[in-house]
Structure 1
Amino acid sequence: MRGLDLEYMLGLVPVIAGYIPLTLAIAALAMLLALVLAVALAMERVARVPVLDALVLLFISFFRGTPLLVQLFLFYYGLPQVLSFLTAIDGVTATIMGLTLHFAAYMAETIRAAITGVDRSQWEAAQSIGMTQVQMMSRVILPQAARTAAPTLVNYFIDMIKATSLAFTLGVTEMMGATQKEAAGSFLYFEAFLVAAVLYWIMVEALSQLQKRLETRLNKAYAR
């Protein structure tokens, strides 16, 4: 049984770490787009517009009920066969599209639950002073719902960062793609993937600490 090649592992750290900015950029952009879409979907779920509600439920059911990897393959390999103008789509774009739609489906339900969880008296108070629906949602309901949903949304961002590791299946050289290439060249698969795992772990732990601080800060105003 051979020991770990520590020298190789140490030399690999800056190589894989060099792709952290790309990994975070993919996750951050997908998170931003998913959040915007999720809010729109959640608002519709609260309003329950006929016909549109059925389409939103179908969207949520599909993207929550199918594997993310299958969705990525659909966007990267499948859609260009159906829509010719998408033949130029690259792996990064397909990854962002897949992550956006996949996580928006989950986040929509979280945001919807947070919105409906706001005390009914808040709705009634906003209506009693003549606020429009847009004013009520933007000034009263959504800020309170954000406090409830924020910790869970950070969890989704953490999951999104880990999910970017699937991008290498579309030919994207991010952290996992770089690790795969390095491992294939050296045949030191255990060392290479261990380095990648530790780097992902460090990022996730840093975000987890940020989540705890955010939760503490959001709850401070409500502490008695």
Structure 2
Amino acid sequence: MQASLDFDYILNLFPILFKYLGVTMEMALLGFFFALIISVVIAVIRVFQLPVLHQLAGLFISFFRGTPLLVQLFLFYYGLPQIFPILASFDAFTAAVCGLSLHFAAYMAESIRAAILGIDKSQMEACYSVGMTRLQAMYRIILPQASRVATPSLMNYFIDMIKSTSLAFTFGVAEIMAKAQMEAASTFKFFESFLAVAVIYWVVVIFFTRIQAILENRLNRAY
């Protein structure tokens, strides 16, 4: 006998999953905040080609872009505490935020670096002519201009980070994917449970895609 789709179950599941959406968004927002800070520092190091730091930044980018995010999350949660006992106090949520931050920082750093290099060199020369140092020119003149160029790709990474938070359920973070998995296991309605969580992710992504479009239009208004 062919089973039918249980729409009532899906509708009743939405309020349950929405209660855990805050955990997902908190994880994504914190991850993006720290990733942005790290990526700007790495991008500036790469642009200025600072000795030793430039090579370390390149190694960082190579590792976090060259290994799967799930492996990195497992390293943070299960692996590093064995080497550094002080990290044993990290809970699953903290480990997930650290893993997401470092993983996406590697990608965002290259986008920011490309945006910085895309600014005309005459801008930096003009800064030097009025007595600014390289760092002053970077954060006063270059980075504000580069932010407009980098915004579309950075917003794409943020949207990708929201979806990537679903991997955190593999080590027990109680976010919407974990709750959907628990509901599916208890009711055996796997299709309905995962369809419901897919719709929620879809709606969230549509919302932030719209925010991205508005932000891009506002930043490009002067151009």
TM-score normalised by structure 1 residue count: 0.98
Could you tell which deviates more after superposition, 122-131 or 9-18? 122-131
User: What residue number does 1:131 align with?
Assistant: 132
Tell me how far 1:160 sits from its aligned partner.
Answer: 0.3
1:175 aligns with 2:209: no
How far apart are the structure 1 equivalents of 2:90 and 2:122? 48
User: What residue number does 1:215 align with?
Assistant: 216
How far apart are the structure 1 equivalents of 2:87 and 2:50? 31
User: What residue number does 1:147 align with?
Assistant: 148
User: What residue number does 1:74 align with?
Assistant: 75
How far apart are the structure 2 equivalents of 1:109 and 1:122? 21
Give runs of aligned pairs for residues 41-190 of structure 1, distance below 5 A: 41-190=42-191
How far apart are the structure 2 equivalents of 1:62 and 1:138? 28
Tell me how far 1:40 sits from its aligned partner.
Answer: 0.2
Tell me how far 1:130 sits from its aligned partner.
Answer: 1.3
User: What residue number does 2:34 align with?
Assistant: 33
Tell me how far 1:75 sits from its aligned partner.
Answer: 0.4
User: What residue number does 1:21 align with?
Assistant: 22
> How much identity, in percent, do the aligned residues show?
57
User: What residue number does 1:194 align with?
Assistant: 195
Tell me how far 1:6 sits from its aligned partner.
Answer: 0.8
Q: Moved runs in structure 1, 4+ residues, more than 3 A?
A: none
Structure 1 counterpart of 2:183, one-letter code: E
Tell me how far 1:129 sits from its aligned partner.
Answer: 1.3
SS at match of 1:118: coil
Note the residue ranges of structure 1 that are not aligned, 5 or more in a row.
Answer: none
How far apart are the structure 1 equivalents of 2:216 and 2:65? 26
Q: Deviations over 1:86-138 (max 9, x none)?
A: 22221101100100000000000000000010011111111111112222111
How far apart are the structure 2 equivalents of 1:42 and 1:173? 34
Give runs of aligned pairs for residues 1-16 of structure 1, distance below 5 A: 1-16=2-17
SS at match of 1:220: coil
How far apart are the structure 1 equivalents of 2:76 and 2:116? 31
Structure 2 counterpart of 1:205, one-letter code: I
Q: Deviations over 1:126-168 (max 9, x none)?
A: 1111112222111110000000001110100000000000000
Q: What is the number of equivalent residue pairs in this alignment?
A: 222
Q: Deviations over 1:68-88 (max 9, x none)?
A: 000000000101111111222
RMSD of aligned residue pairs (Cα, Å): 0.7
Note the residue ranges of structure 2 that are not aligned, 5 or more in a row.
Answer: none
